[in-house]
A and B are shown apart, each in its own frame.
Chain A
Amino acid sequence: MGLEDLAAIIISTLVSGSIYTLMVVGLALIFQTIQYFNFAHGSFYTFGAYFVWYLLYILKLDYFTSVLILIPASFILGFVMQRFLIQQLVDREASPLVLILATFCVGSIVESTLLLIFGGRLKRLPYPIEGSIEFMGATMSYHKLLILIISTSLLVFFAYILNKTKMGTAMRAMAQEKEASYLAGINVKRMYATVVGLSAVLAGIGGWLFGCMIFMTPDFGSSTILWEGFIVCTLGGAKAGMKGSIFASYLVAFLETVLTRFLPMYNVPPLIFMMVILMLLIRPEGILVKGGSQ
């Protein structure tokens, strides 16, 4: 294997890992805080891509404005889902399965609505920046570089929020002890909705970035990215928080890239799933989580 191959593996790992991170950090945030796996998350991804497409091509806004507007729009989508649907079920002490099913329904509704409005014909977002650079003999597009920069920046920003702000402290408190959070005067319901809103923002931005790389269909979020997010969450341990999620994202990206380099692509998904099963058997709490099983 030459330097160029190594560079290609590094680039692929970093880019895929960054895409997975944008998906998984949001999922892990929700699971850690509110204790359910959000199956609507894939549709938030799809929403992000189609929303930017609409702003660019129908309302004819410029790229920067379109992406800026995406942020509050995604936040509202997540906030509303949590506040007016999931929270009602949580208040009625619905089981986790009911919550999962509810998110599944929301995801289906979002993607069906997108299909109804935009149709099934393929669409594409333009690259914000065209062109490529050379890296150790391999070529890397500016868009891939943008993915790395944006995902890193967002992760740093979210880490700052979680560790250095009152809101972050409240989120961490709720994750550890919900009842005590109520007693401490935290508006738990509003915080939950905020968590899902922030998670939706990450997904929406991920969807926009991913939508530039593929030809969009109204179900691309749930049919492709969501399942990879599930795998990463399981490997990293949904309770492991950001660290576990980030580590698992890049680990899965690395394994996929390396395995596909040496094995037929067809054999790689079953191998990855086997690793998930092994992880669930050996260390069900996740790679970085210490302590007993979940």
Chain B
Amino acid sequence: MALGKKTLAIFVISIITASLLSGVIGYHIAPRGAGTEEAYQKGFADGRYPNGTLKVAVLGPMTGVLASEGEAFRMGAEWAVEEINALGGICGYKLELVVGDTEDFEPAKVTTLIEKMINEEKVAAIFCGYGSQSLVEYDVCAKYNMLYFIGADWMAHQDKWAQYPEKYKTCFNLVPSYMPYRYHFPETFDRWVREGKLQIINKKVAIVYSDNYYSSWIAEGLKENFIRLGYNITLWEMVPFGTVTEWGSILAKIRADPPAVIINTDYIPSNEASFVEQFLEAPTNSHMFIQYGPSTPEFVQLLGNKCTGIYYNNPSIEIHTPGNKPGNELLQRAIKRFGSEPPSYTFTTYQEVWIYKQACEIAHEYYGADPKKPEDRLIIAQTLREKTAWWGSVGLMVFDETNCLSAEYAVPTIYQLWEGQRFCVEPAGFANADPRMPPWWH
């Protein structure tokens, strides 16, 4: 049966109305950026981009359960591209940012997307907060000598370099060693207890982790180190990776045998926040350590005072660390630009793009390298390893020449959330507070 004209007209009008309404709503609530379109146009008019446009890509989960992370990657890259373009671009090129959606990080999707970026979009570099946890995309980037920047998955990066030294010369990882995630909190916590700074009810530990390499690797390290320090692991529970909303049964097990420490390394902030809230419905006399989630601004903003007392750590200093002047200044600039503190990975991709700019300009000056030429990417990569240094939000970033990892200048830190604020409680050189007993202690 053919569509009636009246029905068709109503349908079309509905679609148009819905689109207009969405646009109005979107305009009404969309965040305002710094906006330097005027600067771009002026740039072209002034001839500050004599070489035209240089495409670069930012990849991340723009949809799905980790869409908030993807948005953070995009925000950081866009911010850097705007600033760099306002200053004249890179080597006479105006940067044009292409955004790619890695969705749920399924390796096939990530590699397909990267192939597309390289072969169809012809990007000169790819920036990412984190990609597939096994870093399968490194092989694609190695095949095309594509410059790839990432700020995570240290274990997988180490594994790949160990297997094929020198193959991944164009893949750079901004993270320092993740090893402190495994030992730093257990050792520090045990020291606090022995020094009398914290009380504990027993020497039991409950660990909840999720079915992914990052979470399980850290959880295993924490388990190993707590056992080494004389603690018993009374709960060792894996949850499926993805959205977990109901923690009642796990918390019931914890409440049946309250431990000294509860650890959750399921790094999805929304899961961890639900876990904390549901724990607080009937809390036990346990200290709580949560992996990664508390470092995101949403975790603190949305939980408010409910997150008081929770510990988290970082394998290096971070933007909040007292005394980290470059980091603190970057944070203030970010707040001014975005109106509030952006997620932590905004700073990762922001700095990746700036480090890339530095390397391109040095490579151009020393070797005449052109960032648009695929054959010159190896020169830029060499420059990144040998001549680039960046004092950023996590301290001094210098790439280790042997494995393209951010070299070992990092100082691991531990924080405790208290009434919406982050306090550095370890190490002493950066600490602005002592660890405190959690407010739910009874």
Q: Please indicate whether A and B come from the same complex rather than being unrelated chains.
A: yes
Chain A: residues with CB nearer than 8 A to chain B?
4-5, 8, 11-12, 16, 54, 58, 80, 84, 88, 91-92, 112-113, 115-124, 132, 138-139, 141, 210, 213-215, 217-220, 223-224, 256-257, 260-261, 264-266, 269
Contacting pair A217 B62 (CB below 8 A): no
* Nearest CB on A from B408, distance (A): 33
Q: Mark B96-130, 1 if CB is under 8 A from A, else 0.
A: 00000000000000000000000000000000000
Cβ of A214: which chain B residues have Cβ within 8 Å of it? 243, 245, 270, 274
Considering the complex, which residues of chain B in the window 244-303 have a beta carbon less than 8 Å from any beta carbon of chain A?
244-246, 248-250, 252-253, 255-256, 269-270, 273-274, 281-282, 298, 302
Contact B273 A215 (CB under 8 A): yes
| Distance in angstroms between the alpha carbons of A54 and B256 in the assembled complex | 40
In contact, A264 and B238 (Cβ under 8 angstroms) = yes
Do A120 and B68 form a contact, CB below 8 Å, given A80-B14, A215-B270? yes
Query: With the chains together, A54 CA to B245 CA distance in Å?
Result: 22
Asked if B65 is an interface residue, CB under 8 A from chain A, the answer is yes
Which chain A positions have C-beta within 8 A of B3? 88
Cβ–Cβ contact A117 & B25, under 8 A: yes
**CB of B71 within 8 A of chain A?**
yes
Cα A141 to Cα B279 in complex, Å, equals: 12
Known: A121-B71, A266-B239. A260 touches B282 (CB 8 A): no
Main secondary structure of the interface of A (DSSP, over half): helix
For the complex, give the distance between the alpha carbons of A260 and B244 in Å: 13
Contacting residues, chain A, for B298 (C-beta < 8 A): 121-122, 215
**Does A257 lie within 8 Å of B248, measured CB to CB?**
yes
The answer to whether the Cβ of B28 comes within 8 Å of any Cβ in the partner chain is yes
Which 10 pairs show the lowest CB-CB distances between chains A and B?
A: A120-B67, A215-B270, A260-B249, A120-B71, A122-B298, A139-B282, A124-B302, A12-B248, A121-B68, A84-B11
Cβ proximity bits B9-27 to A, threshold 8 Å, 1 near / 0 not: 0110010000000100110
Place the interface of chain B in its size category: 35 or more
User: Which residues does chain B contribute within 8 Å of A264, judged by CB atoms?
Assistant: 237-238
Q: Are the CB atoms of A269 and B71 closer together than 8 Å? A: no
Chain B residue nearest to A84 (CB atoms) is: B11
| B interface SS class | helix
Contact B249 A217 (CB under 8 A): no
List 12 other contacts, CB 8 Å, given A120-B62, A120-B69: A12-B248, A54-B29, A117-B30, A120-B70, A214-B270, A217-B64, A260-B248, A261-B249, A264-B238, A265-B239, A266-B211, A266-B239
Q: Which residues of A contact B26 (CB under 8 A)?
A: 116-117
Measured between beta carbons, the chain B residues less than 8 angstroms from A266 are: 211, 237-240
Tell me the complex Cα distance, A5–B255, Å. Answer: 9
A141-B282 Cα distance, complex, nearest whole Å: 10
Residue of A54, A210, A217, A265 near B270 (CB, 8 A) is: A217
Complex interface: chain A residues within 8 A of B270 (CB): 122, 214-215, 217
B302: chain A residues at CB < 8 Å are 122-124, 215
Whole-angstrom distance from the CB of A80 to the nearest CB of chain B?
Answer: 6
Candidate in B64, B71, B248, B302 with the most chain A CB atoms within 10 angstroms? B248
Please give, as numbers and ranges, the residues of chain A lying within 8 Å of B239 by CB-CB distance.
265-266
Q: A54-B29, A139-B282 are in contact. Are A122 and B22 (CB under 8 A)?
A: no
Select from chain A the residue with minimum beta-carbon distance to B12. Answer: A84
**Residues of chain B lying within 8 A (CB to CB) of residue A4:** 255
Contact in complex: A118, B29 (CB < 8 Å): yes
Task: Report the separation of the CA atoms of residues A8 and B282 in the bound assembly, to the nearest whole angstrom.
Answer: 11
**Could you tell me the distance in whole angstroms from the C-beta of B11 to the nearest C-beta in chain A?**
5
Q: Is B343 an interface residue (CB 8 A)?
A: yes
Q: Which residues of B contact A219 (CB under 8 A)?
A: 63-65, 67
| 9 sampled A-B residue pairs with Cβ under 8 A | A84-B14, A88-B7, A119-B71, A120-B70, A122-B68, A138-B282, A210-B245, A215-B269, A217-B270
Nearest B residue to A109 by beta-carbon distance? B18
Contact string against A for B residues 184-223, beta-carbon threshold 8 Å, 1 for contact and 0 otherwise: 0000000000000000000000000001000000000000
CB-based contact B63/A115 at 8 Å: yes
Q: Which chain B positions have C-beta within 8 A of A54? A: 25, 29
Among residues of A, the one whose C-beta sits closest to the C-beta of B253 is A261
With A and B bound together, what is the CA distance between A106 and B245 in angstroms? 25
Most buried by B among A92, A210, A215, A261: A215
Cα distance, A138 to B282, chains bound together (Å): 8
| Cα–Cα distance between A223 and B65 once the two chains are bound (Å) | 8
Residue B428 is within 8 A (CB to CB) of chain A in the complex = no
CB distance from B31 to the nearest CB of A (A): 8
> CB-CB < 8 A to B25: which residues of A?
54, 117
> Is the pair A121, B281 in contact by a Cβ cutoff of 8 Å?
no
Question: Separation in Å of the B307 CB from the closest CB of chain A?
Answer: 13
Chain B: which residue is nearest A220 at the CB level?
B243
Q: Is the CB of A5 within 8 A of B256?
A: yes
Q: Which of A16, A117, A257, A265 has the most CB of B within 10 A?
A: A265
Q: Which residues of B contact A123 (CB under 8 A)?
A: 302
| Complex Cα spacing A45 to B119, Å | 39
Cβ 8 A contact of A116, one of B10, B11, B22: B22
Q: Contact check, A257 vs B249: say whether CB atoms are below 8 A apart.
A: yes
A22 to B3, CA, bound (A): 34
CB distance from A105 to the nearest CB of B (A): 14
Q: Which of A122, A124, A217, A218 has the most CB of B within 10 A?
A: A122
Is the Cβ of B249 less than 8 Å from the Cβ of A265? yes
Closest to B27 in A: A117
Cα A80 to Cα B246 with chains together (Å): 33
